[in-house]
Structure 1
Amino acid sequence: MSIGKMQKYKEMMQQHVLRPYLPETHWLTRRRTLKMLRSYSSIFIKPDKGSGGSGIIRAKRKGERYEVRCNQERKYVRAQSIYEVIKFFRKPSQRYLVQRGLRLAKYKGAIFDVRIYMQKPESEWMISGKVARVASPRKFVTNFQKGGHAASLREVLSTLFPNSGNKVNSRLERIEQLSYIIAKTLDKQHSLRELGVDLAIEKNGRIWIIEANSKPGHMLFTQLSDKSELNTILENKHLIYSSGSELP
């Protein structure tokens, strides 16, 4: 059974260490949407149980109007009409949440975020893979299913912090610390063995927690020239699912 984004968000919010890294998130309502648009230049509307970047809607301020975009379709409206456009794009059978938009850093002109592949092949969590997910040109999501591609995380961070190995190392260290805390926090409630932790890095270097996917895909790691992390993931999958669970 899939775990909704809001449930995971609330569980992570209980951890005071994680709280500063979680962007403001609420159930979608007209009142909340308009209030968040007054606070932030962009917001994201996401299906609570969606995956792969499917169905995500972005509302972004463009002068006196807002661009509301879902996939390649976009509409330009004033603030008071945004909620009607969101209702047009969303699926009525799904529940949605609204989240603060982030100013993602870019790599070679495209936005990127971070995927940390966590696994628990035995009794302890481990990081099996770290990768940067780079969006396709003109896309606002980085997911592999939406054309996102893999890049070496250290290489990407090195372009974000040129001539500063200390900043690169400190971000990597913090990303790893947060990923372990997230895995242990959600594992207490749901007895997980795998987790895909997605983190954002803004242009100023600030780290945010985007999502923790309880059924992560590993195809992104097939794109890396170094196959060591992919091999680790697959070896751990064999250990995890040979015990009787079904391989996803």
Structure 2
Amino acid sequence: MARKPELGKWLLYRFFARNASARKHLPTTRKYSKKSLASMLQAYGAVYLKPAAGSRGRGVMKVWNDRQGRVIVQHTVRRPIAFATLDKANVHIRRSQGGNVYIVQQAVRLLQVKGRPMDVRVMMQRDRPGGKWLYSGMVAKIAGPSSIVTNVALSHGTVMSVDRALRQAGWTKEQIARTKSRLVQLAHAWAKHFDTYQPYRELGFDVAIDVEGGIWLLEENTGPSHRLFAKNIDGLADYRRIQYRWGRYEQARRRNGPRQCSTPSCGPLPDARKAVTTRQSIS
């Protein structure tokens, strides 16, 4: 059976908004236009603009109003640019789009580690075609200096255990354990919802934790990077588990006969594959 096309950020937002367990964890998102940007800025004070088909944090902009009433636009790791009016900011944004479709999204007040925003990657896998979803690990991604994105390669950020990150943010052991358990529970529900579109062998969910402990689903990756987990400064246990389950899936797939592709890219080695990001990676 032919694979369905990969969904971009906008269609994925609409797809997950139909799921009760995901809907309340989604930041408000609209297609970008002058009107939607103005209304979202008025509602939330700060927003992210992201290419609908973008990946790895590339092309992301953050837009907000400063105390002088100016509109500030910052691209990924670049310095912010101030505009006197929203119309002038929109001209700059249009030029930066390069003809690509963008979404505008509510900016979540992300939890910070030593003054830098963080989010969490939760990895879900199958160890055989048609098998049940298995939780394989999670890591915290800490943004690099002056970056609005947590993508490690782009921002020169840090990957560490979620426990370490939340401890450095001042959380107790009980708070950490409760939040990690909830993240795993939600990731199972979200992975099962993804199956209603088409099956995948692995999924990576990028999740924000806000300053009040709220959980926000930022991005769904259908070809998630394994190497991200190899960069964890707190050890390789999750990375080895991920690699092991990838190998188990490959063995089962070969035993089943004809090649079955259940991820956007089915190369023989997971770390040689190019990760496909189907939504966002905000700061």
Is TM-score (shorter-chain normalized) higher than 0.5? yes
From 88, 97, 100, the equivalent of 2:95 is 88
SS at match of 2:80: strand
Aligned residue identity for 1:233? I
Amino acid at match of 1:51: S
Selected match of 1:148 from 151, 157, 172: 157
CA distance in 2, matches of 1:149, 1:158: 15
Query: Which ranges of 4 or more aligned residues in structure 1 deviate by more than 6 Å?
Result: none
- The letter for the 2-side match of 1:220 is L
8 Å CA contact 1:149–1:220 kept in 2: the answer is: no
Q: Percent identity?
A: 27
Amino acid paired to 1:149: T
- Specify the alignment match of 1:69 in structure 2: 74
Task: Pick the structure with more strand per residue.
Answer: 1
Shift of 1:73: 4.9
The answer as to whether partners of 2:144 and 2:152 remain within 8 angstroms in 1 is no
Shift of 1:120: 1.3
For 2:98 and 2:248, the matched residues in 1 are separated by 38
Where does residue 106 of structure 1 map in the other structure? 112
> Corresponding residue for 1:192?
200
Displacement after TM superposition at 1:79 (Å): 2.4
Where 1:18 maps in the other structure, the secondary structure is helix
- Render the CA deviation track for 1:127-158: whole Å, top value 9, x for unaligned: 11210000101111001221232011012122
Alignment correspondent of 1:116: 122
CA RMSD of aligned residues (A): 1.5
Counterpart contact for 2:21–2:190, Cα < 8 Å: no
Deviates more, 1:195-204 or 1:74-83: 74-83
Amino acid in the other structure paired with 1:50: G
Q: CA deviation at 1:235?
A: 1.4
What residue in structure 2 maps to residue 46 of structure 1? 50
Q: Tell me, yes or no, if structure 1 residue 32 matches structure 2 residue 40.
A: no
Return closer, same or farther for 1:145/1:190 CA change in 2, 3 Å cut-off: farther
Partner of 1:79: 86
**Which residue number in structure 2 is paired with residue 168 of structure 1?**
176
Give the distance between the partners of 1:109 and 1:35, measured in 2 at CA. 29
Gaps of 5+ in 1: none
Residue 208 of structure 1 corresponds to: 216
Report the alpha carbon displacement of residue 222 of structure 1 after superposing the two structures with TM.
1.1
1:171-229: CA deviations, max 9, x gaps? 11111111111111112202111111000011121111101111111212112242111
**C-alpha distance in 2 between matches for 1:240 and 1:79:** 51
1:161: how far off?
4.0
Structure-2 residue corresponding to 1:18: 22
State the one-letter code of the partner of 1:67.
I
Q: Partners in 2 of 1:144 and 1:126 — Cα distance?
A: 25
Show the counterpart of 2:139.
131
What are the within-5 Å matches in structure 2 for residues 177-188 of structure 1? 177-188=185-196
Q: TM-score, normalised by structure 2?
A: 0.82
Alignment correspondent of 2:279: none
Query: Number of aligned pairs?
Result: 246
Q: Please say if residues 4 and 49 of structure 1, whose CA atoms lie closer than 8 Å, have aligned partners that are also in contact.
A: yes
